[in-house]
Structure 1
Amino acid sequence: MADRFHTTSAHFQNRWGSGLSALGSEESVAEKLDLIVKRYGLRGYLLINVPSETSTDFSSNVLLTSWPDEMLKTYDHAGLIFGSPVIERLRQSTNPFTYDADRTNRRRADGKAAIAASLFDRHGLSRGAYFPAHNSAGLRGALAFGGTREAFNSQEMAELNALANAIFTEVVDLRAGRRQNVSLSRREIECLSWASAGKTSVEMSEILGLSEYTVNHYLNRATRKLDAVNRVQAVAKAIRAGLLN
C-alpha cells in the first residue's frame, strides 16, 4: 500500500510539479494551483509562511491565495490568528493534516469558535487540508486546500503533499529575486512608514500635506510593487526587504 502511494505521489509530482521553476512567475504558479483546485473539486488554495509567535496578523504571512480579500480582512479584524489550532499545529508539526472548520475550531480557548467556523463556512472553505513545507534555508511554510467536499483520502493526501515543498520553494525564490529589484519612491516609503506607525490615510494626508486620494495612490502603488494583498502586508514585506527602518 505504501509503495503504491509513493509511486502515485511521484507520478503526481512529475505531472503537476515538474517545470515549476520554469514557470517564472507567481501568476503561473497560481494558475497551476487553480487547476489543482478544480481537479479535486475544491474551492480555494492558500500558501503561507508559518506565522511566528509574535505575528499579530495573518495577511502579512500570505504568499499566494485564492481566498477572498473580505475573508482575510475579517479573519484579521476578528484576531483569529491568536489561539488558532491550525496555526499552532503548523508551528509544532511537519506532518500534513485535514481540518473541519466546525470541529477544529471547537478547540479554540478564546471563545471565537463560532466566529471562525462561520467565516470558513460562509466562504465555502469548511473542509480541507494543510501540507507543511520548508525550503533549503529552513524557512517554514504550508500549502492548504479547502472546499466543501468530503475529506481527502490517503492517496489524495499523498499526492498533494508531494507538491508542497516544490511550490513553497518556488514562490519564496521568486519573491527573493524580485525583492532585489524592488524600488520604492520617497513618497511611497513615507506613506508606508506612517502606515507602520498606525496612521490612517486621513492622518497621513494631514502630516504629509497631501490629499487622501494621493496618499492612497502611493500606498496602493507600493502594495503592488511589493506584491502584497494589503497595506499591512506591504509594510511587513518592506521591513523584511530592508526598505523601511
Structure 2
Amino acid sequence: MPDYDGAVVLAAIRTIQAATTSDAVISVLGQFIERYGFERIFLGQLVNPANVPLKDILYISDWPDELKAERERRMAILHDPIAIGALRSKRPFSWAEARRHATHAGRQVMDSVHDHGITDGMMFPMHALHSVSGGVSLGACGGLDLSLTHIAELEIVCQTAYYHLEGLLGPFPYQRVAELTVRETECVQFAAAGKTNWEIAKILGIQEDTVKKTLRRASDKLGAVNRAHLVASAIAKSQIFP
C-alpha cells in the first residue's frame, strides 16, 4: 500500500477537473484507485429505476456486461445494501460493513457481484445541495488493507470525479430540487409527525382549508401523489427533518 503522497492526489484532482470527456475522467480515476488495490468502478446517482430510466441519470460502470444486465433486469439497486447505505450515510463504508446490515435479498445481490470475482470494496456516498444522492463504489478482486488516510485520499478524488462528471454530463431532467416555502415546510413537517390538517391549523393559527391548499402545493412541487408520498419525498429531498 502506498504511503501518503499529496502530490499524487493533487495531480489526480487537477487532471480530472481538466478532463472534457467521461472516458478521460474514468481513466484517471481508474489509474488512481489501482494504487489502493481497486480494479472496478461503479459510479452513479441513486434513484429508483422503476421511476427514472438509466439514460436519464449519471451512471457509469466498468463491471462485467453480464453482471450489469442482471442487475438492471432484477432492479438490484432496490435491495442492494451498499446503495441503501449510501443513501443513509455521509461517510465512506466497506462492502463488508454494508453486508452486516443486509436483508436476505440484499445478501443475494452482493453474492451475485462476488460470483463475478468482485469480492471486496468501498462505497463513497455523494450528497450535495440541488442534486439527488449518489455514490462511487470501488470494487476489488482481493482483500483490502486501507488506513484512514488512504480512505480520505480516495474519498476526495472520488468526489472530484463524481461532481465533475455530474457537471459534464448534466443537467439531468429530475436534478433540480424543488424548494418548499416556509409555510409549506411547516405543514409538511407537522404532517410527517402524524398531525391532522385540523391539528396543523390549530398549531399554526391558520384555517384548515389553508393547510389543505398548502399541502397540495407542496405535493405538486415534489411530484407526490398522496400524503405519505409527500412526506417520504420531502424527507428524501432534505426539505424537512426525518
If the TM-score is normalised by the length of the shorter chain, which range does it land in?
0.5 to 0.7
Residue in 2 aligned with 1:21?
A: 17
Q: Deviations over 1:196-228 (max 9, x none)?
A: xxxxxxxxxxxxxxxxxxxxxxxxxxxxxxxxx
The count of aligned residue pairs is: 168
User: Per the alignment, do residues 41 and 78 of structure 1 end up closer, same or farther by CA in structure 2, a change over 3 Å counting?
Assistant: same
After superposition, residues 216-227 of structure 1 pair within 5 angstroms as none
User: Per the alignment, do residues 19 and 32 of structure 1 end up closer, same or farther by CA in structure 2, a change over 3 Å counting?
Assistant: closer
Could you say what the CA RMSD is over the residues aligned between the two structures, in angstroms?
3.0
TM-score normalised by the chain length of structure 1: 0.58
Q: Deviations over 1:117-138 (max 9, x none)?
A: 3312122222110112245634
Tell me the secondary structure at the aligned position of residue 60 of structure 2: strand
After superposition, residues 186-201 of structure 1 pair within 5 angstroms as none
Amino acid at match of 2:162: F
1:172 equivalent to 2:157? Answer: no
CA contact (8 A) 1:135 1:168 kept: no
CA contact (8 A) 1:98 1:151 kept: no
Tell me the secondary structure at the aligned position of residue 29 of structure 1: helix
Q: Which of 152, 156, 159 lines up with 1:158 in the alignment?
A: 152
Question: Aligned partners of 1:44, 1:13: CA distance in 2, in Å?
Answer: 19
- Of the structure 1 ranges 34-43 and 84-93, higher mean CA displacement relative to structure 2 is found in 34-43
TM-score normalised by the chain length of structure 2: 0.59
* Bigger Rg, which one: 2
CA contact (8 A) 2:122 2:137 kept: yes
Question: Aligned partners of 1:178, 1:87: CA distance in 2, in Å?
Answer: 20
Question: Aligned partners of 1:50, 1:178: CA distance in 2, in Å?
Answer: 13
Residue in 1 aligned with 2:80?
A: 84
User: Per the alignment, do residues 57 and 11 of structure 1 end up closer, same or farther by CA in structure 2, a change over 3 Å counting?
Assistant: farther
Q: Deviations over 1:95-136 (max 9, x none)?
A: 111113xx7445433x33553233121222221101122456
Question: Aligned partners of 2:52, 2:38: CA distance in 1, in Å?
Answer: 22
After superposition, residues 39-58 of structure 1 pair within 5 angstroms as 39-51=35-47, 54-56=48-50
CA contact (8 A) 2:80 2:106 kept: no
Amino acid at match of 1:63: Y
Question: Aligned partners of 2:88, 2:5: CA distance in 1, in Å?
Answer: 25
Question: Aligned partners of 1:118, 1:43: CA distance in 2, in Å?
Answer: 18
